[in-house]
Structure 1
Amino acid sequence: MVYNRLDQLVLSQDANQRAGNQWTVTKYDAQGRVIVTGLWNAGSAINLATLQSSIYAAVQWDTRDYTNTTATNPTGYVISSYPQLSTVLKINYYDDYTFPAKPSTVTTPSGASTNTTGLLTATVTGVLNSSDMLWTAHYYDDFGRLTQSYAQHYLGGVSSPYNYDVVTNTYDFTDFVNELVSVTRLHYGKITTNTAAVLNATITNTYVYDHIGHKKQTLESINGGANILLSQNNYNEIGQLMVKQLHSTSNGSSFLQNTSYTYNERGWLLKINDPTVAPSSTQLFAEQLQYNNVTAVPNISPTPQYNGNIASQTWWAMTNPVTTAAKSYTYSYDNLNRLTGGISTDNFTETGINYDLNGNITKLNRYMGSSTTALDQLTYTYNGTNQVQSINDAAVDNSLYGYRPGTYSGYQYDPNGNMKVLPTPPNGSAVANINIQYNLLNLPWNITGGKTITYTYDADGEKLRRVSPNTGSTDYINGIQYDQGVGATVPAISFIQTEEGKAVPDGAGGYNYTYYLGDQLGNTRLTFDTKTGVAVMSQQDDYYPFGYEISRGTVTNPKNEYLYNKKELQEELQQYDYGARFYDPVIATWTTIDPSAERYFALSPYNYVADNPIKLIDPDGNDIINPQHMVLSNTMLIRKMHQFDLAVARISGRNIHSYKFIITGGDRYKKNGDIYSATNNNIIRKAARHSRHLQEEGAIAVDLSTIKGIDDDVLKAAAAETGFRFNPDGADYDDGHFHIDLDINHKSGKRSKYASEYLDDDDDIDKDHKPTDEELNKNVIAEQQILKEALSGNTSMTEALFGQIMDDWYRFMIRVKQQNQENQKILDELKRKLMTRIIIKTNVKL
């Protein structure tokens, strides 16, 4: 990577590019905004010193040129910085709507604001492996809200002024709530050789919110047809979704599907409907999860899990023929929370799962249905790398499922770590001896092996098109999917994605709505259609623990391919496309390196969701998250630590922001390996964001990490003021390390009667307390009065008091944000205004 004098990244080169002396280039304007990205073919290797010198010697930013629209430089910018571009990938325009060579169908809507300084007004994005460019234009109102956008698409693999969408947004602004209330999309497409835009679909979505800002209803109308109430959501007092109702043609007086949700006192999901009640046409799927409070499921006794891991999962789904028998999985984990087995009551089991120290799977056994013979008995070889070199399947099963028996040692990778050769396809695959070529974004674009599959992407990595000899071509247009089957002459809309499933053409000019019902991970478990006026199951899907699809029953055509994590299954490869990369559930690994690998340095970059696919997901191949957004906190302990922080500040005379205490020991790490900070209640924010959990037997060890110089006398005095027992082991520390006693005997592990003072309860430190705002911020009312007096000039305010009040108010805002995330921007703006007023009125210097 090479930077300019302004510390802006100008040149970058990966291992694949290095072989061809190619660089990725980024250009900036005088405001530091990215204006152009592209490629530079250097022709030969250039050393870093030479590149750095050339960049420093040239101008550091580029300027707009409103007259330059020539074919040799149609970017609308004068590119004077080093180096010149060989290929343009993307152009950004800001501030106005004067840009060159825009399509004839781009028109400024009536009422669009001309006060757009600082706003992104248009982008031109290249189609990889072609010379085509696609335009997007953005129009705003006077409040800077996006009111209309124009976006070209790539239907039929053609960049045409007649292939585009126009999306219009309407907002409501009442009581400080800025809500998007409707979106209308006009979808134009050049299906034949027409010379004018043809309107293929008009889609209008309308949204209704409750008094807090939760989205309560979503309605949709296609081509002026009936306004279908897709979903209606009901929430409890703390913002948890309690009931979701699907598909109403009667404005909400009746629905075809009703789904209820039950949570425990920690906010963990316990039930989706009730699997002890027989399925019906209005409740087609149900699921129950067990954590620490477990009861036996048929033939299996789950092991309690106290840290948020799921001990067992029981579900039923309406099937054809109808059966009311529930199915179950019980799960086991190692000491690093990695899944070691998932045992199914009907023997669709993955067990004997072992890992190396980086989290790479080394062994996996898979069974199928009533057969006692293993479907797969996989042993992986890595040869000192994170890249699988060979896999041996010792199973003798020769079915059309799973991995192929035998040893396959031809796995190969390109210099960027992309799996370019798969020595064997999965059983039943139409492709053999698979070779994969990747584009500059490390996305597969050409797959060969008996048959050839090609993918087309734009420079942002958006998948535009797929061509396969088995299925023909598929065009992906922001939720509208076209298919042109083998032998067909033109593409036709296959479906339009909705928030809850998809709308499928009914053959008579209208659309039939199909819905997906999911589990705790968002996996599609049951698909139902509505064309008869009753919810009818059309497809039911179950999965092995690592996502391999379990074959069950009959599927009504066309098959829904959006399955595990609601990602599209690539049938020929039996892999899921997550967006940033592909996942192979047969061998339970990614096929390319994690784009965010630097944040998960303790894990193999091919590792799937930290080896815990029952609790965690990776929505797009970039980040691991907990879809339940669990908050496992110890509120009383956090409050005690915050009081200790403030006491240290008062006694030492230091600014509370100049030092940082870090809780160590026990389970103290985020998923990226960082240790939680206790100062200024960061632990609250990080526990909510990363869903991790404090647990400790004995004392809390604390490191004073940022600075030295706060000695034991200060720490002891602060501990005494706060009510902590300091250094229970009797040791004195002068190196910024000390202990705070939890009144728990280290040897016996028994808690004393005093533990409840700063633990959530005296049984287990990981019990979650849900405090009210008043409990969490007991000083807010008094501080409100202080603020009012300070703002009115009736009292003075010290810097220390200001810091304390703002810290408490920030805690209050974090609490509100957790309950009402739609209003985060509004709360942040209120906080900014509050701080500005305080600084002006009280002359507090920060």
Structure 2
Amino acid sequence: MALGKTIVENKWMKYDHAGRLTKVELAYSGAVNKTRTTITEMLYDELGQLETKKLTKAGRNLDYKYNIRGWLTQMNAYRQSGGSGRGNDEFGFALNYQSGATTFGGEDQFNGNIGSMEWWSKVSGVSNHRQAYGYTYDALNRISKADFKTYSSGWSDASGYDVTGITYDLNGNIMTLNRYDKGNHIDQLGYGYNGNQLRYVNDARDDNKGFKELSSNSLEYSYDANGNMTRDDNKKISDIDYNLLNLPEFVEKKDAADKVRNLAYAYDASGVKLENRLPDSKKLQYCANFVYENGSLKYILNDEGKLNVGDGSNTYQFFVKDHLGNIRLSVRESGEVEELNHYYPFGMRMNMADSKTDADQKYLYNGKELQDETDWLDYGWRMYDPAIARWHCIDNLAEKYISLSPYHYAGNNPIKNIDIDGNEFTSRAWVWVQKLLNQVNNRVTDMSADLEEKSMRLSSGKTKKGKNLTDKQKDKLKGKINKLKGKINKYVDVINEISELGASDQMYDVESGGTSANANGETTYDNATGNIVMSIFSNSNNPLATFAHEAKHAYQFETGAVSFSYLTGEGSSLYDISDEIEAFKRGQLFGANTNANINEKWVRLKGYTGLPSGPIDINTPTGNVLNPSETYLQAINRITRLLKSKGRNPVQVIKQ
């Protein structure tokens, strides 16, 4: 399928009453024909947590379990007798936090770190094994050891894939790291630095597995003035040229036999990768989720995998992921397992006998694309080398984390954290997010218990004292049950919205302190950093409710209901009274204005007199707008459509 031929992709998405995605369907017409197909279906529990994901076409169900804190504890069966109805699971895992880790050589964790991970893979003719990692961390929550175990009649260290002796300098740069393969010591790495920039990596083990040391120089790596790596002697890379966005444009490289294997990349003005030019006249071209090879369509990416076109099959391939988004299993729509992957901490693939590789499947650790010739992983804004567990370029937000090396991966805790696009994995906003979610979990737990008790009484038809319920009592009980369900759904909305903000490419920040005579907080746009900043003022008598209010505005920005001015940072043309009504009602859930009847009149009495009633958003810029011109509204939609067409940043708003 060549470039220039028209392909139409149609996507249908279905949501439940709480706005949660429940079904995705795809169809293609034109140069590629594929009838309307259900890609995935999702079921949620009463807390709004994903309970089951159905990869419908492949006939696979992914079942999830959580602890009382809402932390993921299990996906599918993680042992042969893993549970009723799970006999066809080819991959499953369990995460242990405060108990169970010592069984696998790890340490129980009481601060949210993962103490151990047990997994089971069952692929006909390839694998039927239980395996586990037990994790140990230092005092700064950085991983220091991963003890591998395998199960036969009991847990043992046989054929181990341990990672040991991980140490760090005062900036968080890795100093030493050891890896094992089938019990053989394959990597004994020692790192040398000039500040935070890498000078050399020495491997005391002469093994062609793992990290490959092709140089013994005292200076093997070089950097430019922006902190971008320009040379890597261990990969025989003599020069890397970068564009104005600090993205690699040209890589001058040789293979082990000194044959020239140069690479080149092309991007659009916003940094979205358009082309990867490889040796032997091979080109990969990227047009949103359509990927071409030498001008012919190779595959079309979707949320759960891809549609293979280049091999002539026109069949879907589905990805089964673990808690970090790592591709552990890929399955054809026929049910055939194409790939089974296992990973060391920090992302290097294990050379395990029961692995199964698919040379055409390049999306691996964190779901990121493996780069031919270099074995880098492309995270969008930076390239990552899992063999040495370091980035090639500095974190764009490095000034916010002066205690950490700008080249570290995921805070050196790759068991719990991920770097979504190579920019950041956390911020001070997460302190407030955690407070809010703890409140939500506590309240929903209490209400769910109350709901269960009332539902059981209604089902049994008995009062607490064992007497028969009258019709009037039943109606009253039904009303209480419906009220509880409605309130639980409101808290579930909080979880869903916070999750969307956490997964966004847009940076959200929180500032505490300062005062205001007429507000408890505010949400603004910082033109210097590009961040949306939620401010919690010291005069707020309920800071958590204030944060809930401002987080609602952040979500409104994320979904295109609110815009901000580039000049002032304050709410702009999409900001209206309906946005404030939603935000005040969100704060009310957490104890603010508890007795108020929050409506337009109430909000205007709070001082919001100059705002239009709304609702106004980027999709429907209509309503009580203050004298807008039609031309201006058309411009909003035109610019919005332009921004929506960019593949990397899904934020559907304009910052005016």
The answer for the alignment partner of 2:449 in structure 1 is none
The answer for the alignment partner of 2:351 in structure 1 is 551
The answer for the alignment partner of 1:423 in structure 2 is 233
> How far did 1:840 drift?
3.6
Pair 1:493-2:276 in alignment = no
Alignment of 1:362-381 (within 5 A): 362-371=175-184, 374-381=185-192
Alignment of 1:779-794 (within 5 A): none
Alignment of 1:70-89 (within 5 A): none
Q: How many residues align?
A: 470
d(CA) in 2 for partners of 1:636, 1:466: 45
User: How has the CA–CA distance of structure 1 residues 566 and 557 changed in structure 2, closer, same or farther, with 3 Å as cutoff?
Assistant: closer
Give RMSD over aligned pairs.
3.7
> How far did 1:815 drift?
9.5
Contact 1:514 1:527 in 2 (8 A): yes
The answer for the alignment partner of 2:375 in structure 1 is 574
Identical pairs, percent: 32
User: How has the CA–CA distance of structure 1 residues 634 and 554 changed in structure 2, closer, same or farther, with 3 Å as cutoff?
Assistant: closer
User: How has the CA–CA distance of structure 1 residues 295 and 819 changed in structure 2, closer, same or farther, with 3 Å as cutoff?
Assistant: farther
d(CA) in 1 for partners of 2:322, 2:437: 29
Counterpart amino acid of 1:830? I
State which of 502, 518, 535 in structure 1 corresponds to 2:321: 518
Counterpart amino acid of 2:187? D
State which of 379, 385, 405 in structure 2 corresponds to 1:584: 385
> How far did 1:568 drift?
0.6
State which of 388, 411, 421 in structure 1 corresponds to 2:198: 388
Contact 2:419 2:425 in 1 (8 A): yes
d(CA) in 2 for partners of 1:478, 1:198: 15
d(CA) in 1 for partners of 2:500, 2:68: 15
**Structure 1 alignment gaps of length 5 or more:** 1-188, 192-196, 249-254, 426-431, 485-490, 639-684, 692-703, 708-801
User: How has the CA–CA distance of structure 1 residues 482 and 331 changed in structure 2, closer, same or farther, with 3 Å as cutoff?
Assistant: same
State which of 599, 602, 627 in structure 2 corresponds to 1:838: 602
For 2:328, what is the secondary structure of its paired residue?
strand
User: How has the CA–CA distance of structure 1 residues 218 and 822 changed in structure 2, closer, same or farther, with 3 Å as cutoff?
Assistant: farther
State which of 16, 36, 39 in structure 2 corresponds to 1:210: 16
State which of 198, 203, 228 in structure 1 corresponds to 2:5: 198
For 1:550, what is the secondary structure of its paired residue?
coil
Contact 1:257 1:281 in 2 (8 A): no
d(CA) in 1 for partners of 2:545, 2:239: 57
User: How has the CA–CA distance of structure 1 residues 434 and 320 changed in structure 2, closer, same or farther, with 3 Å as cutoff?
Assistant: farther
d(CA) in 2 for partners of 1:818, 1:234: 27
> How far did 1:637 drift?
10
TM-score (norm 2): 0.65
State which of 245, 252, 263 in structure 1 corresponds to 2:66: 263
> How far did 1:821 drift?
12
For 2:601, what is the secondary structure of its paired residue?
helix
d(CA) in 1 for partners of 2:277, 2:607: 66
User: How has the CA–CA distance of structure 1 residues 822 and 473 changed in structure 2, closer, same or farther, with 3 Å as cutoff?
Assistant: closer
For 2:164, what is the secondary structure of its paired residue?
strand
For 1:366, what is the secondary structure of its paired residue?
strand
User: How has the CA–CA distance of structure 1 residues 811 and 548 changed in structure 2, closer, same or farther, with 3 Å as cutoff?
Assistant: closer
The answer for the alignment partner of 1:225 in structure 2 is 34
d(CA) in 2 for partners of 1:264, 1:686: 19
d(CA) in 2 for partners of 1:539, 1:479: 21
Counterpart amino acid of 2:303? E
The answer for the alignment partner of 2:340 in structure 1 is 540
Counterpart amino acid of 1:375? I
Counterpart amino acid of 2:35? A
Alignment of 1:24-39 (within 5 A): none
Alignment of 1:310-325 (within 5 A): 310-325=114-129
> How far did 1:190 drift?
6.6
> How far did 1:284 drift?
1.9
User: How has the CA–CA distance of structure 1 residues 838 and 617 changed in structure 2, closer, same or farther, with 3 Å as cutoff?
Assistant: same
> How far did 1:536 drift?
1.8
State which of 423, 429, 434 in structure 2 corresponds to 1:622: 423
> How far did 1:232 drift?
0.3
Contact 1:595 1:622 in 2 (8 A): yes
For 1:358, what is the secondary structure of its paired residue?
coil
State which of 427, 441, 457 in structure 1 corresponds to 2:245: 441
Cα shift readout 1:682-701 (whole Å, capped 9, x = no counterpart): xxx9999889xxxxxxxxxx
d(CA) in 1 for partners of 2:171, 2:387: 20
For 2:161, what is the secondary structure of its paired residue?
coil
For 2:366, what is the secondary structure of its paired residue?
helix
Contact 1:581 1:621 in 2 (8 A): yes
d(CA) in 1 for partners of 2:67, 2:606: 46
Counterpart amino acid of 1:347? G
User: How has the CA–CA distance of structure 1 residues 392 and 840 changed in structure 2, closer, same or farther, with 3 Å as cutoff?
Assistant: closer
- Worse overlay, 210-219 or 597-606: 597-606
The answer for the alignment partner of 2:534 in structure 1 is none
Counterpart amino acid of 1:378? L
Contact 2:172 2:408 in 1 (8 A): yes
Counterpart amino acid of 1:230? I
Cα shift readout 1:706-729 (whole Å, capped 9, x = no counterpart): 69xxxxxxxxxxxxxxxxxxxxxx
Cα shift readout 1:129-156 (whole Å, capped 9, x = no counterpart): xxxxxxxxxxxxxxxxxxxxxxxxxxxx
Higher share of residues assigned helix: 2
d(CA) in 2 for partners of 1:323, 1:570: 27
d(CA) in 2 for partners of 1:588, 1:454: 23
The answer for the alignment partner of 1:355 in structure 2 is 168
User: How has the CA–CA distance of structure 1 residues 503 and 278 changed in structure 2, closer, same or farther, with 3 Å as cutoff?
Assistant: farther
For 2:373, what is the secondary structure of its paired residue?
coil
Contact 1:438 1:444 in 2 (8 A): yes
For 2:602, what is the secondary structure of its paired residue?
helix
For 2:56, what is the secondary structure of its paired residue?
strand
Choose 1 or 2 for highest CA Rg. Answer: 1
> How far did 1:406 drift?
6.2
Contact 2:161 2:180 in 1 (8 A): yes
Counterpart amino acid of 2:409? Y
User: How has the CA–CA distance of structure 1 residues 276 and 471 changed in structure 2, closer, same or farther, with 3 Å as cutoff?
Assistant: farther
> How far did 1:506 drift?
7.2
User: How has the CA–CA distance of structure 1 residues 377 and 511 changed in structure 2, closer, same or farther, with 3 Å as cutoff?
Assistant: same
For 1:227, what is the secondary structure of its paired residue?
strand
**Structure 2 alignment gaps of length 5 or more:** 150-158, 255-260, 441-496, 504-511, 516-538, 563-577, 585-597, 611-656
Alignment of 1:660-809 (within 5 A): none
For 2:51, what is the secondary structure of its paired residue?
strand
d(CA) in 2 for partners of 1:609, 1:434: 28
Contact 1:393 1:407 in 2 (8 A): no
d(CA) in 1 for partners of 2:329, 2:140: 32
